[in-house]
Structure 1
Amino acid sequence: MSDLGEFLRSRRGRIGPGDVGLSAGVGRRQTPGLRREELAAVAGVSVDYYTRLEQGRDRNPGAAVLDALADALRLDGDEREHLHRLASGRRGAATDAPEEARPGLRQLLETVRPAPAFVLNQGSDILAENPEGLALLPGLASWPRGRRNFVRYMFCHPGAPDIIDDWERMAEDCVAHLRTIPPPLAEALVAELTVLSQHFTKLWAEYDVRVKSGTNRSFRHPSLGVLELRSEVLSVADGQRLVVFQAAPGSPSALAISRLSTS
């Protein structure tokens, strides 16, 4: 099954006939969610054509067809963009060359201190961080640069569930964001985490798609206690992004993060 077909099938299984104004009929349904013929009818395409899309036998649907399917599947903005990206074949390319943090973003790491901050690439590799960022995630400093990846830390560092309050929600957000990037850029990390973490495998199979944006996060630092922070994300054209965790001015957390780099 193609990436496009996998995504369509996952979303078809999440909505029922009642969600799109259809009768569920009588008897037990064998298929979770909508049947192919039901979705095709709501989207205004033939069952044969939709089946070819889902099975990967037709990979060039027009924008109007994609929009009709997105409407029928009740996709949100991130999911709709993901559908169009999969259909367009904008897959990106993997490379063995080490990626360097953009100089401007590296400078901002110093500018925002003492707020913990990281420069990430599309696959959430940590290309650079300030001292407070390194201290915010205990154990990260012991990993070599090539292993430092935010998603890997979430699922492979044994202390992550204790350090990150509401670890489950952040884990879901990390996996959903990983689904938004070109598949070749995530293949190696996905293959690794699928072997190492059953929880990652479960979340990956759910195929949630969500671009990360600013949100409130809580950390339980072993030396400084609970840190109530808000993440902000600045993205640039090549896919790198600056992630900054800020505390409310004058709050106990603001005082605490000023001591992070010396903790």
Structure 2
Amino acid sequence: MSENHLGDFLRARRAAVGPGDVGMAHHGMRRVAGLRREEVAVLAGVNADYYTRLEQGRERRPSAQVVEALGRALLLDADTVAHLHRLAGSVPGRPSPAAASRVGPALRTLIDGYRDTPAFVTGPTLDILAANALTEALYSPFERADNLAAMVFLDPAGRSFHTRWDRTAEAVVGHLREAEGLDPRNGRLRALVGELSARSPDFARLWNTHTVRGKTRAAKHFLHPDVGHLHVTYHAFDVREAPGQQLIVYHADPDSPSFEALRLLGGDRRALRLVRDGL
């Protein structure tokens, strides 16, 4: 992984913005994708040489005001601007502490209480640290249900299970980029990104876009070999006692086919096999 996190990020995001996106006229062929360095500097109101030093890693500590200006120039959303602040070291307050890998007993009891809803706890690198029985049944098609990113990119079940795989893959990479900004020295993250980049060209391509995405709430579409299609919404909640951990809960609308499928998935396994076999 490159040590010039700020410069790599700026280059990638600059390449993703065209002159027309920011109201700039352009003529003829361009040698670079997206905006030129000089154009970003003009839009952000900074010196072109200073901006070049930022990309090259010769300047690594822009002010919070410069970071905000770069965010506006590059059309970044709120999550991505926050990530840029972290890369630049301009976020006020103390750095986020390392997330605990141990899930407390009270939280384990809580997720086990969700009998009709998959619930699990993840760490900052999307490791599944604890899961209730229904989550284990939901993820049973995977060889190992221990890391959401590895399940999407490395497990053969990933592409069939996630019926909107492209969206899921982009979201997963965005979550890992956010984790990098929060703790760029995270050894587990470095090892995971290295493995995924080496084994999955799709991951390597998406990682190099430097897209950042927070994990809050979104729709999920699954295809489970035992109960068929599942349409759920996930909600993510920060675990205050263990910074970096999140409680993830999947929710299906009551009385919907997906709700009934989840109940079946978490119920009598013999009945499930009979349904699956059409008996």
- AA aligned to 1:184 is R
- AA aligned to 2:103 is A
Cα distance 1:89–1:46, how it changes in 2: closer, same or farther (>3 A)? closer
1:218 & 1:17 partners in 2: Cα distance? 36
The equivalent of 1:171 in structure 2 is 169
1:87-98 alignment runs, 5 A limit: 87-88=88-89
Shift of 1:93: 7.9
2:238 & 2:106 partners in 1: Cα distance? 12
Counterpart check, 1:226 vs 2:229: yes
The equivalent of 2:276 in structure 1 is none
Q: For 1:210, which of 209, 213, 223 is the aligned residue? A: 213
What does the per-residue CA deviation read over 1:69-127, in whole Å, with 9 as the maximum and x for residues that have no partner?
111111100110000011118876879xx811133332221122220111100110000
Cα distance 1:122–1:89, how it changes in 2: closer, same or farther (>3 A)? farther
Is the contact between residue 121 and residue 130 of structure 2 (CA under 8 Å) also seen in structure 1?
yes
Q: For 1:9, which of 11, 14, 20 is the aligned residue? A: 11
The equivalent of 1:180 in structure 2 is 178
TM score, norm. by length of structure 2: 0.86
TM score, norm. by length of structure 1: 0.91
The equivalent of 1:127 in structure 2 is 129
1:184-195 alignment runs, 5 A limit: 184-185=185-186, 186-195=189-198
- AA aligned to 1:151 is A
The equivalent of 2:257 in structure 1 is 252
The equivalent of 2:138 in structure 1 is 136
- Work out the percentage of aligned pairs sharing the same amino acid: 43
RMSD: 2.0
2:231 & 2:38 partners in 1: Cα distance? 48
Is the contact between residue 92 and residue 184 of structure 1 (CA under 8 Å) also seen in structure 2?
no
The equivalent of 1:152 in structure 2 is 150
Cα distance 1:92–1:57, how it changes in 2: closer, same or farther (>3 A)? farther
2:106 & 2:217 partners in 1: Cα distance? 21
1:105-116 alignment runs, 5 A limit: 105-116=107-118
1:228 & 1:55 partners in 2: Cα distance? 45
Shift of 1:158: 0.6
Is the contact between residue 116 and residue 134 of structure 2 (CA under 8 Å) also seen in structure 1?
yes
1:16 & 1:108 partners in 2: Cα distance? 48
The equivalent of 2:47 in structure 1 is 46
Q: Secondary structure at the match of 1:30?
A: coil
The equivalent of 2:272 in structure 1 is none
The equivalent of 1:78 in structure 2 is 79
Shift of 1:156: 1.2
Cα distance 1:61–1:89, how it changes in 2: closer, same or farther (>3 A)? closer
Q: Secondary structure at the match of 1:39?
A: helix
1:171 & 1:104 partners in 2: Cα distance? 32
The equivalent of 2:64 in structure 1 is 63
Is the contact between residue 93 and residue 184 of structure 1 (CA under 8 Å) also seen in structure 2?
no
Q: Secondary structure at the match of 2:121?
A: strand
Shift of 1:19: 2.3
Q: Which 5+ residue runs of structure 2 have no aligned equivalent?
A: 270-279
Is the contact between residue 112 and residue 133 of structure 2 (CA under 8 Å) also seen in structure 1?
no
The equivalent of 1:196 in structure 2 is 199
What does the per-residue CA deviation read over 1:133-161, in whole Å, with 9 as the maximum and x for residues that have no partner?
01111244x53xxx711111111111111
Is the contact between residue 163 and residue 219 of structure 1 (CA under 8 Å) also seen in structure 2?
yes
1:92 & 1:240 partners in 2: Cα distance? 12
